[in-house]
Every structure is written in structure tokens, then in C-alpha cells.
Amino acid sequence: MKMKKLLALAAACAVAVSSFAACGGNSDDSESKTDSTAESVAEESSAVEKIPETDEEWHQAMLNKAMVSYGNTYMMQDVIKRAQAGEEVTIAYLGGSITEGISAGPEDCYAKLTYNHFAETFGTGDNVKYHNAGLSGTPSKLGILRLDRDVLAEDPDVVFIEFAVNDGSEPDYQNAYESIVQTLLQRNIAVVLLFSVTAEDYSAQDYMKEIGYAYNLPMISYCDALRYLFENDRMTWQDFSDDQSHPNVEGHKLVAEMVNYYFDTVMDVEPTGEYIMPMDYVYSPREINAHMVENDGITPVSLGSWTEGSEIASFTKGWSHKSDAGNEPIVFEMDAKFVYMIYHEAKQGNFGKLHVKITVDGEVYDECDYEVLSPNGWGNAQVQNIAMEPTNTKYRVEISMAEGDEETFAEILGFGYTADE
């Protein structure tokens, strides 16, 4: 079954699913039974898998594969009930370029499509709000620093997290991803994990699933669904995407259908009581409640040869070094535990290495050069941990251009930090 057949089946299946999803709004019904569809997912996983025979069966199998887990449905059901009662709720999306909508656009990306479905299904007018915090080329290491400014400022009730093709599997990615989950759950925000995949079959979803299971969260994997369809010759990557990673318009529709299936069935899956945060961490989420500051949030001790302002999308409140400005360092003082430098990782141009010197109580804490020109990189904002102590420490941070790169260009976009408050 090719992409068009999968999408053609969507409308018919949506009608069938919505008929029992509407009944799910009745608390008596939702408490007295578990959705037969959810039971079929569990039964399918525990029995020898039956190969679908009809297009309809293949379509349902795709949705089942995508629906990794409903987790504890308590928080999402609460949001839905509040939306149905006319209360204002906000659905937010945090991720990279897939969430931003590259290749599909802001109106046809999965985020907007799934928001539309939620608002039409559960809203009572204009009480459901939308916020898309997807940003091209950014991993969870930057996502946790952006979280405060780009997501929490919108006071969301639900947040989707999508970083599976932007993250590596090293500890700093794992810690940052779990920190995002922890920070949101501490604020009683319903979290949904969405897992993506590239044409080369790369996805960081394995460690993300560990976190999802540990925190009893809903998980939707279009990675698993696509792998299943590809392995059975029901679709090709070219049906889904026009490049190596971004869904095309039809691909975004397919991802949206998987998410909408979760929305349409979640009210019929009994919660396991009120949501309780687990006591133990999966990794070491050291950036919980991290913050980000730009030039309107921190004043340098000295600007040196730098000027205020930067020129990268979503990061215009940084500091820039021009090629003919000289090489006096820009100097900051920060009282924090961990400090992260956010900088412009350029793909081309007259960009040079940054020289970062950090002192504590007049003694050199660290001194290092950082390459910012990366032809194979994202050409966007990136983050580097430059200081790390277990308790609040007063750091003096001096940033200049490295030796030999004095007449080059660079941009510091901001700083992230964690601190005992």
C-alpha cells in the first residue's frame, strides 16, 4: 500500500475511531472499560504477529506500530476534559526542523495538523491554543536551555518532544532529554514523546524509550511505523520524504494521523491513578530547571571588541565580533553551577575559533579554543558546556578570538545555566 492509499484510509478510520472517542468523554464509560483498540495493541505484542491481509488491516497495523505506549493517561485525560469544559488549554511542540515544519510549512506540518485535530475534537471554540517551538538544527542539549524562553513562557498544558534525529546517544544528550521531561512533569504538564527517523535509519529513540517507560509517558514512534511498512514493501522512503530526514507534505499528514490516533483513543484507556513522578532517574538529568540568558538578561563586565546583537533566527539578542574590531575579550561574571555557551555554528564564511578563558577566585579554571566553523554542521545555534561545579560558583568568563583568528567573525548567542536558587 503506497502513501496515497494510506492517506485515503485515514478519513474512514478517523470516522470509526471518533465515534468511540466521543464516548470517552463520559467519565463513567472511561472508568468502566479499557479501549478494545488498546487491548488489541497489547494482545498483538504478546502473540505471534499476524501479517495484515487487507489495506484496512495494514493501516491499523501502522497505527498500532506507532503507538508504542499510552503511559499513564491521567494527565492527558485531564487536559481533554478541561478543553471539553471550555477551559483554555495550550498545546506546545518542542523539537528540531521536523517540528518546525521544514519541507511542509507552518500550516501543513504535523504539529499544526494535530493541534487542529485536538481543537476541533475537544475544544469548544477558540479555547485551545497552539505554540510551535520547533527550531531547525537544534538537539535536546539546546532544547533544555530554550525550554524556559520558548515553551514554559507560554504556560502549556501539553508538550510534545521531538529530537530523535537531532540527538546522539552520548550522555550529554541523554541527560538533556531527561532534564526536559523532568522540568515539564514537575510543572504538571502532560508530556508526549515523538520519535522520528532518517533515510539512513538513524534514530535516538532507544534511549528515549527507556526514559518514556521509566516515567510512564505516552510514546508515538513514526520510526517504528515506517520501519514496519518499509520492511513489508508497503511504502518507500521517497513516499514519505523528499530529502534525508524531513517528511514532505504527505509525510507530515501521515505523522499527524498517528498522533491523532493517540488523541482519539486515549480517553478510553484507564489511567493507573493520578500521575506520580518516579523517584529514580534513568540517566543524570543535571539541567533540570535550566535557564537561558541573552543580552537583555545579562550585562557583560566589559564588551571589549564585541557589539550587542546577533543575526541568527530566534537568537538576535547575542553578541557579535566583527573581523576588523580588534580582539579585546568580552567578559561576563556568572554565579551558577553549570554554564553553557550558545554560539553560532557556521557552515561557511569568515568565521574563526573562539578562545574561552574561565577563572574562579583569580585562578584559571579552564582555557580552551572552540571551533565554530563546521561545513557539515547545522549552520544554526549550538551549545557547549564550559563550566561545571556541584554548587554555585562565581565564574569570570572571557571570550575572544583564538590566536591567528583575530580578524574573523563570530557570534555568541547567549548562555545557559543551572543554579541553586
Which 3 state secondary structure label does DSSP give 344?
strand
Strand pairing of 410-418 and 319-321? antiparallel
Q: What pLDDT is attached to residue 378?
A: 79
Q: Which amino acid is at 210?
A: E
CA atoms within 13 A on the CB side of 416: 27
| Angle between helix 140-150 and 171-186 (nearest 10) | 20
Average pLDDT over residues 286-295: 96
Residues in the chain: 421
Average pLDDT over residues 13-21: 38
Exposure string for 103-131, b = 16+ CB within 10 A, e = fewer: bbeeebbbbbbbbbbbbebbbeeebbbbb
pLDDT bin (cut points 50, 70, 90) of residue 321 is: very high
Q: What percent of the chain is predicted at pLDDT more than 70?
A: 88
Q: Which three cell numbers stand for residue 154?
A: 507560554
What CA–CA distance (Å, rounded) separates 317 from 307? Answer: 11
For the chain, the average pLDDT equals: 90
5: left (phi over 0), alpha (psi -120 to 50) or beta: alpha
pLDDT tens digits for range 123-143: 999 999 999 999 999 999 999
Average pLDDT over residues 198-205: 98
pLDDT bin (cut points 50, 70, 90) of residue 31 is: very low
β-sheet with 67-69: strand ranges across: 67-69, 219-221, 190-195, 158-162, 89-95, 128-134
pLDDT bin (cut points 50, 70, 90) of residue 401 is: very high
- Neighbour count for residue 250 (Cβ, 10 Å): 17
Strand pairing of 410-418 and 89-95? unpaired
Average pLDDT over residues 8-23: 40
What CA–CA distance (Å, rounded) separates 398 from 306? Answer: 12
Which 3 state secondary structure label does DSSP give 146?
helix
- Neighbour count for residue 18 (Cβ, 10 Å): 17
User: What is the DSSP track for 172-222?
Assistant: HHHHHHHHHHHHHHHTT-EEEEEE---TT----HHHHHHHHHHTT--EEEH
Q: Partners of 363 in the beta sheet? A: 360
Inter-residue contact 181 to 217 (CB < 8 Å)? yes
- pTM of the predicted model as reported, rounded to 2 decimal places: 0.88
What are φ and ψ of residue 212, in 5° steps?
Answer: -60, -45
Q: What pLDDT is attached to residue 13?
A: 43
Block residue for cell numbers 574563526 = 352
Q: Which three cell numbers stand for residue 184?
A: 515539564
Q: Which of 75, 360, 109, 123 is nearest to 250 (CA)?
A: 109
pLDDT bin (cut points 50, 70, 90) of residue 6 is: low
Q: Which three cell numbers stand for residue 323?
A: 573581523
Q: Which three cell numbers stand for residue 397?
A: 568568563
